[in-house]
Amino acid sequence: MGEKAGKMDKSKLLSGAKRVVVKIGSQLLEKDGSIDTQFIKDIASSIKSFPDKEFVIVSSGAVLAGVKKLKLKQKPKTITEKQAVASVGQAYLMQIYDKLFSENSLVIGQVLLTVEGLRERKRYILAKNTLEKLIDMSVIPIVNENDTIAIEEIVFGDNDFLASHVSVLVDADLLVILSTAGGVYTGEPTDKNSQLIEEITDIDSVLSFAKASTSKFGTGGMRSKLEASKIAVSHGIPVVIAPKEKGIIEKVLSNNFKGTFIHPQREQKISRKKSWLKLLSAPKGRITVDKGAERAIKNGKSLLPAGIKSVEGIFTKNDVVAIINEDNQIIGKGIVNFNNREIEKIKGRKLDEIEKILKKKGTEVIHTDNMVVF
């Protein structure tokens, strides 16, 4: 549905995917009041059957596993209870993954992430490097949100957004989101009048069909999956929303599945740095620019002191700031080459004055390579 982006060959994108991120939600891990070990076995067996491909798993389920291990009757309600139960569940869940993957001669590695951590550039790079090294060592990363220290009850939305960020982080060729719904439908999946939407080129055109989760353990829902998918497809990564069933990984990669395929956008991919700037970075200050500077940066130019009208906030070199126009609208974000006091001294100045004032070389306040424009 929708025609924002031209379609690429679906079969080639699926069969040609070398690096695949698979997201598994809490609901899919539960069966008959316990962890569905047979399902995890099937995922491991599928991965083993593709020795020429690389897999990363983003798995929810720490709270669910903790509830089962502690024999609780319901999901914890407070953040403190959730964190405590997740600490038990994370160890239990990884023990299950390790045992079942080892039976297929596969080695796993645990990676715990939080959105707060990824907002820091150094931690973002460290996470990327760690994931890349694990893949290079033929280890399958099992990524989960670090529920034991997360300060918000819902941070990534049942790991849907985490899965999308991870797919960008590792430069994946495909993101597979396994779902109880099994795809995007025009109504409730259980309603016989609902129709499966097999292919999507414009996510916004189908958002009205999607609802949030009301499940016992999940915190996402189809709306969360579609919103998160926007991140992946905007980076040229196709997304599949598919059901929990035996052999689903093989079926997806051979284009022989019943589910929803979301086409990647064909626009030029942005770098990981600019992706982080756009989606995760938290500005520590504001720089207001005049109309001339606004036009320049929208045309791909760097931000120079002459176009700066005012500076707000306390920040240092290499911090992120928001770029504001004269109408008080945020038009971009960027990594600064000077601290706030230095920019205050050189704002509005011409190039030949700047080196004299700062007594050092360099005139670009934000280089275009370190800037995203909205």
Q: Answer whether residue 154 shows pLDDT above 60.
A: no
Backbone angles phi, psi at 341, to 5 degrees: -70, -40
8 Å CB contact between 216 and 157:
no
Q: Answer whether residue 220 shows pLDDT above 90.
A: no
| DSSP H helices in 110-181 | 115-118, 121-136, 160-169
CATH number (domain holding residue 172): 3.40.1160.10
- Residue that wins the pLDDT comparison between 348 and 191: 348
C-alpha closest to that of 374 among 293, 310, 297: 297
Task: Please state, in angstroms and rounded to a whole number, the distance separating the CA atoms of residues 49 and 37.
Answer: 19
- Residue that wins the pLDDT comparison between 53 and 180: 53
Q: Is residue 77 part of a domain?
A: yes
Same domain, 218 and 304: no
Per-residue pLDDT band at 265 (split at 50, 70, 90)? confident
pLDDT score at 218: 41
User: Of 273, 307, 336, which residue constitutes the final position of a domain?
Assistant: 273
pLDDT score at 150: 56
Per-residue pLDDT band at 149 (split at 50, 70, 90)? low
Q: Is residue 266 part of a domain?
A: yes
Q: Answer whether residue 130 shows pLDDT above 80.
A: yes
Q: Is residue 3 part of a domain?
A: no
CATH number (domain holding residue 347): 2.30.130.10
Same domain, 243 and 304: no
Task: Please state, in angstroms and rounded to a whole number, the distance separating the CA atoms of residues 249 and 256.
Answer: 10
- Residue 327: count of CB within 10 angstroms of its CB: 8
User: Of 242, 273, 304, which residue constitutes the final position of a domain?
Assistant: 273
Domain that holds residue 33: 10-273
Same domain, 234 and 324: no
What is the value of pTM for the model shown? 0.83
Q: Is residue 300 part of a domain?
A: yes
Same domain, 217 and 296: no
The predicted-structure confidence for 312-325, as pLDDT tens digits, reads as follows 999 999 999 999 99
Determine the 3-state secondary structure of 197 from DSSP.
Answer: strand
Buried b (16+ CB within 10 A) or exposed e, 244-269: beeebbebbbeeebebbbbbbbeeeb
When divided into structural domains, the chain yields a total of 2
Same domain, 254 and 299: no
Same domain, 261 and 293: no
8 Å CB contact between 347 and 289:
no
Q: Is residue 278 part of a domain?
A: no
C-alpha closest to that of 267 among 236, 300, 222: 236
pLDDT score at 191: 80
Same domain, 337 and 227: no
Q: Is residue 30 part of a domain?
A: yes
Same domain, 151 and 256: yes
Q: Is residue 2 part of a domain?
A: no
User: Of 207, 240, 273, which residue constitutes the final position of a domain?
Assistant: 273
Measure CA of the first residue to CA of the last residue in the chain; give whole Å.
Answer: 25
| Sign of the dihedral defined by the CA atoms of residues 178, 179, 181, 183, in that order | negative
Instruction: Mean pLDDT check: name the lowest of 85-94, 136-145, 192-201, 349-358.
Output: 349-358
Task: Please state, in angstroms and rounded to a whole number, the distance separating the CA atoms of residues 120 and 126.
Answer: 10
pLDDT score at 3: 41
Same domain, 178 and 239: yes
Contacts of 64 (CB under 8 A, 6+ apart): 26, 29, 30, 35, 75, 89, 217
Same domain, 310 and 190: no
Same domain, 46 and 106: yes
8 Å CB contact between 75 and 217:
yes
Same domain, 129 and 251: yes
Instruction: Mean pLDDT check: name the lowest of 157-171, 282-296, 351-365.
Output: 351-365
Backbone angles phi, psi at 5, to 5 degrees: -125, 140
Looking at residues 75-91, what average pLDDT do you find?
Answer: 87
Determine the 3-state secondary structure of 139 from DSSP.
Answer: strand
Q: Is residue 1 part of a domain?
A: no
